[in-house]
Amino acid sequence: MNVSKKELVTIHNVDKIFKRGSEEIHVLGGLDLQIPEGEFLALMGPSGSGKSTLLNLIGGLDRPSQGSVIVGGEPIDKLSERKLASWRARHVGLVFQFYNLMPVLTAQKNVELPLLLTGLSRSERRKRSAIALDIVGLSHRKGHYPRTLSGGEQQRVGIARAIVTDPTLLLCDEPTGDLDRKSGDEILDLLQALNKEQGKTIVMVTHDIHAAARASRTLYLNKGKLSTEAEE
Amino acid sequence: MKYLYLIWSNLKRKKIRTILTLLSIMVAFMLFGYLGAIKQGFSQGVDVAGLDRLVVRHKISIIQLLPQSYESRIEQIEGVEEAVHQTWFGGVYQKPSNFFAQLPVNPGEYLEMYPEFLISEAEKQAWLSTRSGAIAGRKIAERFGWKVGDRIPINATIWTKKGGEVTWEFDLVGIYDGAEKGTDTTQFLFRYDFFDEARQFGQGLVGWYSVRISDPSKSAEIAALIDAEFANSPAETKSEAEGAFVQGFADQIGDIGFIMTAIIIAVFFTMLLVAGNTMAYAVRERTNELAMLKAIGFSDGRVLGLVLGESFVLTGIGGALGLALAWLMVSAGDPTNGALPFFFIPVNYLLIGVFLVGVMALVAGILPALQAQRLRIADALRR
């Protein structure tokens, strides 16, 4: 099935080197990856293997030291900071492990945040954020502040914020890492539904085999290299 | 405008800290406005001093007297149109703290020299025809509740009457207004002929002269001519522009402008540290949130703008409240109960206040804003 689909993400010969003082740390080396449109990809690997770094490169949150990252035909590693920010706003939805909601804003206002970067009117922004909250099943909690929501509910708000602009790509960094099993399952159900019913392309970094099992493909990252099998 | 809600919500995050910072800024700008009014009270005389008027005083000191006969000699000097004399009476009305200027003058020529003192023709005539007559400025009359027809007793501290009597009684025949907001309406003026005849000593002597000149651009040359006229006499003169004279008079108390400016600078410097510290904390404790904003598409410039916006809103509200409070306090009256001849906040001073609000907001917010702008998303999200 995937063969017939267009590649959404193409990563070619990517190196990522971090500098710590005079020391160079090679996190990713000569990495290649293609992600077709509509795929739900899980990235697994031990801590420090470069999973989040890879996710950051795909989402334009960081730049490769070498190689190219092309998303939706756009070589994002070549974009200026300003253009890259604008590209992220239009094409990427991010879901974080610790939700990263603004505690001073209600659920609805948190969801509205990415819409501030669009030319939408206030009423249109409100309408769209209400739809996003409805999708994640939190319409009844829209006026609540994050501190009054459970972890699972906060992550749902995080997902609503990620999908409110209808992005091409949904990037999730350990979305269930801070949740109990039940809440984690609900979040995974939601991500699966977004992938299957709305065709969202999802890349999810996880340590959890149970979570990775929900994805349509799982790749393992170890010592900066990708493989289809976990290393012993 | 759509970001205002976000800015406002961030300011509400630590309510007590925001309120305390706001109050500090408010106090700073209240002081700025209020001290500005006091400074203006001392300097307004300089601002409104006539450009075409010189003041001629004794070369040694203003308290040394000059002969009245100098008046006609000054008027004969080329470039001089008219000269009038004034003398410091220095009396006490009811109690020493009731300070105001009392000057014996020649009514007709004095009012001609100072057209900014507005008085009705009837009151002028009454003054000319009443030897014990006096006129008072509107502000001083209101301060003491005087009205035309009142008899005003003033105790002399310098000029006792013949026979040693200290109490002088004057008939208030008029109240003058100022042509401009800055005109001094705290003077009490009475007739020199009445004063000269009744005083125990010093007949024929006056305090200083006001001199109108035909060409203000030649004031230095004319002043030099006047001083040359009386050189090597027992009473040599020092002539200067009226503004310089008024400034010198005010400087007897101290350099009020410098003192006020020093206080204001100290207050603002402290406030800058307080506001800057608040902003720095506000950014440091939100590193993760700012990184999230950048991750979802807020550009570096937008994040910089948001942090600066907070600084501007915080300082703007504090500054506006402070200036408004100063305005209200100044409107309630001057703290000396009328001893200051002028007490108001000039519009240009308020505009400087608004400008300072902007400067303070910018200086307090720029470093934290730049710090937020330079945040690297991937690094900051890990914190």
Tokens of B257: 């402008």
Nearest residue, CB atoms, A94 vs list B296, B298, B376: B296
Q: Taking 90 as the threshold, does the pLDDT of residue B42 lie above it?
A: no
Q: Taking 50 as the threshold, does the pLDDT of residue A2 lie above it?
A: no
Q: How many CB atoms lie within 10 A of CB A225?
A: 16
**Same domain membership, residue B154 and residue B209:** yes
**Same domain membership, residue B162 and residue B241:** yes
**Same domain membership, residue B264 and residue B158:** no
**Same domain membership, residue B266 and residue B220:** no
In this prediction, residue B276 carries a pLDDT of 86
Question: At residue B165, what are phi and psi to the nearest 5 degrees?
Answer: -70, 135
**Same domain membership, residue B102 and residue B38:** no
Q: Does B203 touch chain A (CB under 8 A)?
A: no
Contacts of A92 in chain B (CB under 8 A): 297
Interface predicted TM-score (ipTM) of this complex, two decimals: 0.91
Looking at B219, B250, B281, which one is the last position of a domain? B250
Which of A:160-189 have CB within 8 Å of B? 161
In this prediction, residue B231 carries a pLDDT of 93
Q: Do A61 and B295 touch (CB under 8 A)?
A: yes
Residue A63 Cα, gap to closest chain B Cα (Å): 10
Q: Are A180 and A210 in contact (CB under 8 A)?
A: no
Q: Taking 70 as the threshold, does the pLDDT of residue B371 lie above it?
A: yes
Residue B380 Cα, gap to closest chain A Cα (Å): 11
Q: Does A56 touch chain B (CB under 8 A)?
A: yes
Residue B362 Cα, gap to closest chain A Cα (Å): 23
Angle CA B143–B146–B147, to nearest 5: 140
* Confidence category of residue B269, pLDDT binned at 50, 70, 90: confident
Q: Do B9 and A88 touch (CB under 8 A)?
A: no
Residue B289 Cα, gap to closest chain A Cα (Å): 6
Q: Which residue of B has its CA nearest to A85?
A: B297
Q: Give how far Cα B147 sits from Cα of A88, B91, B144, B155, Å.
A: 78, 20, 9, 20
Query: Which residue range(s) make up the domain with B356?
Result: 4-45+255-382
Q: Which residue of A has its CA nearest to B375?
A: A61
Q: Taking 90 as the threshold, does the pLDDT of residue B285 lie above it?
A: no
One-letter amino acid of B46: V
**Same domain membership, residue B126 and residue B25:** no
| pLDDT mean over B243-249 | 72
**Same domain membership, residue B94 and residue B15:** no
- Length reported for chain A: 232
Q: Do B2 and A116 touch (CB under 8 A)?
A: yes
Q: Taking 80 as the threshold, does the pLDDT of residue A139 lie above it?
A: yes
Q: Does B8 touch chain A (CB under 8 A)?
A: no
pLDDT tens by residue, B118-147: 999 999 999 999 999 999 999 899 989 999
Q: Do A85 and B378 touch (CB under 8 A)?
A: no
**Structural domains in chain B (count):** 2
Report the percent of chain A where pLDDT is more than 70. 97
**Same domain membership, residue B186 and residue B209:** yes
Q: What are the counts of helices (DSSP H) followed by strands (DSSP E) for chain A?
A: 7, 10
Greater confidence (A110 vs A225) lies with: A110
| pLDDT mean over A66-78 | 93
Q: Does A61 touch chain B (CB under 8 A)?
A: yes
Q: Taking 90 as the threshold, does the pLDDT of residue B39 lie above it?
A: no
Q: Does A105 touch chain B (CB under 8 A)?
A: yes
Tokens of B29: 């700008």
Residue B24 Cα, gap to closest chain A Cα (Å): 24
| pLDDT mean over B196-219 | 91
Q: Does B380 touch chain A (CB under 8 A)?
A: no
List, edge to edge, every strand of the sheet that includes A66-71: A23-36, A7-20, A66-71, A74-75
**Same domain membership, residue B345 and residue B236:** no
Right CATH for A2-227 from 3.30.450.20, 3.30.565.10, 3.40.50.300, 1.10.132.20:
3.40.50.300
Q: Select from A134, A55, A18, A103 the least CA-distant residue to B295.
A: A55
Q: Is the dihedral of CA A113, A115, A117, A121 positive or negative?
A: negative
**Same domain membership, residue B309 and residue B233:** no
Residue B320 Cα, gap to closest chain A Cα (Å): 25
Q: Does A19 touch chain B (CB under 8 A)?
A: no
In this prediction, residue A1 carries a pLDDT of 40
Report H helices in B230-346: 242-250, 256-284, 287-295, 300-331
Question: Which class for B9: exposed (0-12), middle (13-18), buried (19 or more C-beta within 10 A)?
Answer: middle
Q: Taking 70 as the threshold, does the pLDDT of residue A127 lie above it?
A: yes
Looking at B250, B279, B314, which one is the last position of a domain? B250
Q: Taking 90 as the threshold, does the pLDDT of residue B220 lie above it?
A: no
Q: Give how far Cα B74 sits from Cα of A204, A225, B84, B226, Å.
A: 98, 102, 10, 7
Q: Does A230 touch chain B (CB under 8 A)?
A: no
**Same domain membership, residue B305 and residue B227:** no
Q: Does A82 touch chain B (CB under 8 A)?
A: yes
Contacts of B376 in chain A (CB under 8 A): 62
Q: Does B299 touch chain A (CB under 8 A)?
A: yes
Looking at B223, B250, B277, which one is the last position of a domain? B250
pLDDT tens by residue, B49-100: 567 888 999 999 888 999 999 999 999 999 999 999 999 999 999 988 888 8
* Confidence category of residue A20, pLDDT binned at 50, 70, 90: confident
Residue B300 Cα, gap to closest chain A Cα (Å): 7
**Same domain membership, residue B245 and residue B229:** yes
Greater confidence (A48 vs B362) lies with: B362
In this prediction, residue B219 carries a pLDDT of 84
Contacts of A143 in chain B (CB under 8 A): none
